[in-house]
Amino acid sequence: MTTGKETHAGFLGMGLDLSTDTFTGEEKARTLEWYGRLHDHGDLDLAPFSRFMLEHDPVGFKRLRRHLITLDDEIDGPALPVAAGVLMFVHTYIVLGMGKGALYEIIAMRELGATRAEIMETVRLGALYGGPRGVNALAEVADGYLRDWQEDPETESRVAWPAGWAPDPAWFRSGIDLGSDELAPGELGLLRDWYVRTVGEVPSHVEVLGRLAPRSLKTQRARFETAITGALPAQIIPLFTLHLSAVRLWAAPLRRAVQTARFLGVRRGEVVAALLWAGVYGADVVMETAMDAAGDLLEDWD
């Protein structure tokens, strides 16, 4: 098992010669062994794209590996760790209904030192956005794996999260009564205050639903607040939304995720790195949309 302190080159590079776009026979074998060890489980075939690209597009596949390793470059400070990028993909794959992708990244996270509790908190947050479609796709391939993952509840994470990152479930609590589904007098004000404090503005749906469907607004909010139990550092949670929103080209949620990350003390370079991880999917389309949505925030970061 790794320590969770792997560099991008060490964990993702697979010892390939990245000065050339071709694969030797030995490199092909090493690549398939890496995917089988870190992205597969039992007799499941979770990452057939690796065999396909090695056979039909080796240049594109090697260029992808080279691109991934650049995500280790420092931007305003130490690079975002590999584990953060992998865990963002666990969340995004669940939402997209890519159960195999989510499981192979869960397997990689376990190798990087994640605890079962960290994975399950990620699954709960993914279920908020992915719904039954996302959970069904994950359940079809991951149920047995997660059942077999027996671990002492006191097991500590070995993921090397960035300095200053720490669990803080209270930060995400608005103060509403989670034991009642009724939006009591004053609780809409608590939600408004939370958004202003953590995002900088109140999203329009809060006001509209607060008037038209207050019970639904509250129960939706309660799902979010109770999904966060303190297994994960608080700083990764807005990066989940950031990564997903970038991949899905959702401008407004992306901008709010950037604002939330900044309020939580995430460095600008870490936010940019999260966007670059998202850009593995969609390339210029993702990056242009992200910068249109939040480029001004990144430029004026303090």
Report the alpha-carbon distance of residue 88 to residue 85 in Å, rounded: 5
For residue 211, being part of any structural domain is answered with yes
Domain extent, residue 259, equals 233-302
Residue 141 maps to a domain: no
Q: What percent of the chain has pLDDT above 70? A: 97
One-letter identity of residue 110: R
Answer yes or no: is 284 within a domain.
yes
On whether residue 80 sits in a domain, the answer given is no
Per the domain annotation, does 120 fall within a domain? no
- In this prediction, residue 1 has a pLDDT band, given cuts at 50, 70 and 90, of very low
In a domain, 9, yes or no: no
Q: Are residues 241 and 190 in the same domain?
A: no
Mark residue 250 as left, alpha or beta (left: phi above 0; alpha: psi -120 to 50; beta: remaining). Answer: beta
Residue of higher predicted confidence among 22 and 240? 240
Cβ atoms < 10 Å from Cβ of 44? 16
Query: Domain check: are 295 and 237 in the same one?
Result: yes
Domain co-membership, 247 together with 296: yes
Query: Which of 2-6, 122-126, 254-258 bottoms out in mean pLDDT, i.e. has the lowest?
Result: 2-6
Rounded to an integer, the average pLDDT of 247-264 is: 96
Q: Are residues 255 and 239 in the same domain?
A: yes
Residue 155 has pLDDT above 80, yes or no: yes
Domain boundary residue, one of 227, 249, 268: 227
212 and 264 together in one domain: no
Give the residue from 212, 227, 242 where a domain finishes. 227
15-29 mean pLDDT: 89
**Same domain flag for 212 and 243:** no
Comparing 112 with 13, which gets the higher pLDDT? 112
What pLDDT was estimated at residue 239? 98
| Residue 238 and residue 200 share a domain | no
Q: What is the mean pLDDT of the chain?
A: 93
Q: From CA 242, how far away is CA 294, in angstroms rounded? A: 10
Boundary-marking domain end, from 227, 261, 294: 227
Task: Provide the domain count of the chain.
Answer: 2
pTM more than 0.85: yes
Q: Which residues of 284-302 are buried (b: 16+ CB within 10 A; e: fewer)?
A: eebbebbeebbeebbeeee
At residue 168, the pLDDT reads 98
Same domain, 277 and 262: yes
16 belongs to a structural domain: no
pLDDT of residue 35: 87
Same domain, yes or no, for 301 and 251?
A: yes
Band of pLDDT at residue 3, cut at 50, 70 and 90? low
Cβ partners under 8 Å of residue 158, min gap 6: 1, 3, 4, 112, 113, 114
pLDDT at position 6: 65
**Whole-Å CA distances, 226 to 124, 136, 220:** 9, 21, 10
The per-residue pLDDT for 5 is 61
Report pLDDT digits (tens) over 31-61.
888 888 888 887 668 989 989 999 999 999 9
Model confidence at 14, in pLDDT bands (50, 70, 90)?
confident
- Greater model confidence, 168 or 47: 168
